[in-house]
Amino acid sequence: QVQLVESGGGLVQTGDSLTLSCVASGRNFLDYAVAWFRQTPGKERELVATVNQSGENKYYEDFWKGRFTISRDNAKNSVYLQMNNLNPGDTALYYCAAGYYPGSSLPERYAYWGQGTQVTVSS
């Protein structure tokens, strides 16, 4: 079993930057690819980015590519999402998730999920 805990969310203004963290505990962190998803009320959970087990391969949805950056530090069992030039459309609950299939955009391909961290961007 793997437990995931997100942190780093908060209230920021348009144009600000923010870094989210996901810390894993339990089974070997190196076995899993990790993804960041986000969800707003009334909408389906959507993929932001994924990173494979080694951290060498990263995948982004086109909308966020170049503005958001995913990375991982296996020595710290952690994954990060650096978000730049935030706007109110980025307001959402952000989740990290772990699974065996790097690059997947389907939530059902990820077996383990954190509780989420809220990001709110004011105008």
Question: What are the CB-based long-range contacts (under 8 Å, 24+) for 64-71?
Answer: 70/34, 70/36
Residue 116 has pLDDT above 90, yes or no: yes
pLDDT at residue 64, as a whole number: 66
Note the pLDDT tens digit of each residue in 1-25: 789 999 999 999 999 999 999 999 9
Poorest-pLDDT segment among 19-23, 40-44, 77-81? 40-44
Give the pLDDT of residue 23: 96
Confidence of residue 82 (pLDDT cuts 50, 70, 90): very high
Token pair of 39, please? 């969800």
Round to whole Å and give the CA distance between 10 and 5: 15
The widest CA-to-CA distance across the chain, in whole angstroms, is: 41
Higher pLDDT, 43 or 64: 43
Q: Tell me the C-alpha to C-alpha distance, in Å, between residue 76 and each of 12, 18, 66.
A: 27, 20, 25
In angstroms, the CA 53 to CA 32 distance is 5
Query: Residue range 27-43: average pLDDT?
Result: 89
